């Protein structure tokens, strides 16, 4: 078990990186506490797997340091770092039984037989694999195989961190949910540091206590799921998290408030703005927009039924504004006025939250 610190970590897959585009990971400084459940969230190609491989030691960073419990492990092998990793596609040893698969990492480390046996049985029980121990691993379903990969990490008592690289990609949708809650439950039971990489916001937000959102090789925001939802520090986070994502509307600052469509909009962080230019935008989530008697005039474009609520797509001057309306509320016919909840409407400058 260990606290993990990443100190000014940069990585490029090229021999001589030149310019921003060559860096897969631009500059990351992060601290992860012991026993936490963390998620790395971001779109494909944002550098999250690179970051994971740097932590696990499968890659060596071009610059910067990786520290486990304050000790520099930047050039240590995955073995020396004592990590476990579950890959996107189930990695199992086909010719071995489930039991041998789980025992493999212990046997390689020369653990004594009796201890191997009880550890394997305990982990198998935890993962509900105990009936399958004698079966050949290749005969299992995808979720069974992923459980084995996870089990190979869990049998080791000395594991510093268990990492998951999009582990549910190949799992059937109805089993994803089961396996996800199993993971969460496991984490609460064994309290090991876990880092979970995914591009699926539901997976990240349900699993992790703290989520690191990445985009384009950079960390955009780190926070609890609620913070990410209620107070996105970058328009990217607002857009990426939530379904549908946050509305981002252009605005101009006139007087005390930013104005959109000629109407002043009350934002929560107007005081922080010091008139220093840049591209200004208003961010407001669809959850915090409602119909009103007066305000911003919109035309209703489309209504989607999403079960318990409806997503209403409205438009003003070419800008799409999406809003969520509870299923019982009525929706005006063609045109209407909307208002933004001032508590949850924020001003962004060059993409970043004005603070």
Partner 1 sequence: MNKSVSQGAWWFVLPVVLLVAFNAIIPLMTVVNYSVQESFGENMFFWSGVRWFEQVLRSDRFLSALVRQVMFSGIVLVIEIPLGLMIALAMPRRGPWVSVCLVLMALPLLIPWNVVGAMWNIMALPDIGLLGKGLNALGLNYNYTRQPGAAWFTVVLMDVWHWTSLIVLLCYAGLVSIPDAYYQAAKIDSAPRWAVFRYIELPKLRYVLTIAILLRFMDSFMIYTEVVVLTGGGPGNATTFLSIDLVKTALGQFDLGPAAAMSLIYFLIILLLSWLFYTLMMRNQAR
- Residue 67 CB, shortest distance to partner 1, in Å, is 20
247 sits near partner 1 (criterion: CB under 8 A): no
Residues 28-57 that bind partner 1 (CB under 8 A): 56
256 sits near partner 1 (criterion: CB under 8 A): no
Residue with smaller CB distance to partner 1, 31 or 79? 79
Specify the 3-state DSSP secondary structure of 208. coil
Candidate list 38, 104, 164, 196; residue touching partner 1; CB under 8 A: 104
Distance of alpha carbon 349 from alpha carbon 238, whole angstroms: 14
- The binding track of 53-72 with respect to partner 1, each residue x by CB under 8 A or -, is ---x-x--------------
Is the separation of the CB atoms in 351 and 282 below 8 Å? no
Distance of alpha carbon 349 from alpha carbon 248, whole angstroms: 11
Candidate list 16, 44, 70, 108; residue touching partner 1; CB under 8 A: 108
Phi, psi of 37 (to 5 degrees): -115, 115
Phi, psi of 138 (to 5 degrees): -70, -20
188 in the Ramachandran plot: left (φ > 0), alpha (ψ -120 to 50) or beta? alpha
Residue with smaller CB distance to partner 1, 139 or 262? 139
- The binding track of 148-187 with respect to partner 1, each residue x by CB under 8 A or -, is -x--xx----------------------------------
Distance of alpha carbon 148 from alpha carbon 127, whole angstroms: 8
Q: Using CB under 8 A, which of the segments 92-100, 236-244, 263-271, 336-344 binds partner 1?
A: 92-100
Q: Using CB under 8 A, which of the segments 86-94, 113-121, 288-296, 307-315 binds partner 1?
A: 86-94
Residue closest to 264 by CA, chosen among 321, 322, 320, 345: 345
Residue with smaller CB distance to partner 1, 147 or 344? 147
Residue closest to 63 by CA, chosen among 101, 27, 22: 27
269 sits near partner 1 (criterion: CB under 8 A): no
């Amino acid at each position: 078990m260990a606290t993990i610190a990443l100190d000014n970590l940069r990585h490029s897959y090229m021999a001589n990186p030149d310019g921003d585009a060559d860096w897969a990971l631009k500059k990351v400084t992060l601290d992860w506490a012991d026993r936490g459940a963390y998620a790395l969230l971001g779109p494909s190609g944002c550098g999250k797997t690179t970051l994971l491989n740097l932590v696990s030691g499968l890659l060596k960073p071009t610059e910067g340091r990786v520290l486990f419990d304050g000790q520099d492990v930047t050039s240590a092998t995955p073995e020396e770092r004592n990590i476990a990793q579950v890959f996107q596609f189930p990695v199992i040893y086909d010719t071995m039984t489930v039991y041998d698969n789980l025992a493999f990492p212990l046997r390689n480390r020369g653990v004594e037989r009796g201890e191997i046996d009880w550890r394997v049985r305990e982990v198998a029980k935890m993962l509900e694999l105990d009936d399958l121990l004698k079966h050949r691993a290749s005969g299992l379903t995808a979720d069974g195989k992923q459980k084995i990969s996870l089990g190979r990490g869990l049998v080791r008592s000395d594991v510093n961190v268990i990492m998951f690289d999009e582990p549910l990609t190949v799992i059937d949708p109805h089993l994803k949910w089961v396996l996800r809650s199993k993971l969460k439950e496991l984490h609460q039971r064994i309290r090991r540091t876990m880092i979970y990489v995914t591009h699926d916001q539901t997976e990240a937000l349900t699993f992790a206590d703290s989520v690191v959102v990445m985009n384009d090789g950079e960390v955009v925001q780190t926070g609890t799921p609620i913070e990410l939802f209620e107070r996105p520090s970058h328009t990217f986070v607002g857009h990426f998290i939530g379904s549908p994502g946050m509305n981002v509307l252009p605005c101009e600052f006139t007087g005390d408030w930013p104005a959109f469509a000629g109407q002043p909009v009350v934002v929560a962080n107007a005081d922080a703005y010091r008139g220093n230019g840049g591209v200004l935008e208003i961010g407001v989530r669809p959850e915090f927009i409602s119909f009103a008697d007066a305000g911003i005039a919109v035309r209703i474009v489309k209504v989607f039924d999403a079960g318990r609520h409806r997503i209403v797509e409205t438009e003003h001057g070419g800008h799409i504004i999406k809003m969520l309306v509870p299923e019982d509320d009525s929706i005006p016919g063609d045109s209407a006025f909307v208002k933004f909840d001032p508590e949850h409407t924020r001003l962004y400058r060059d993409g970043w939250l004005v603070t």
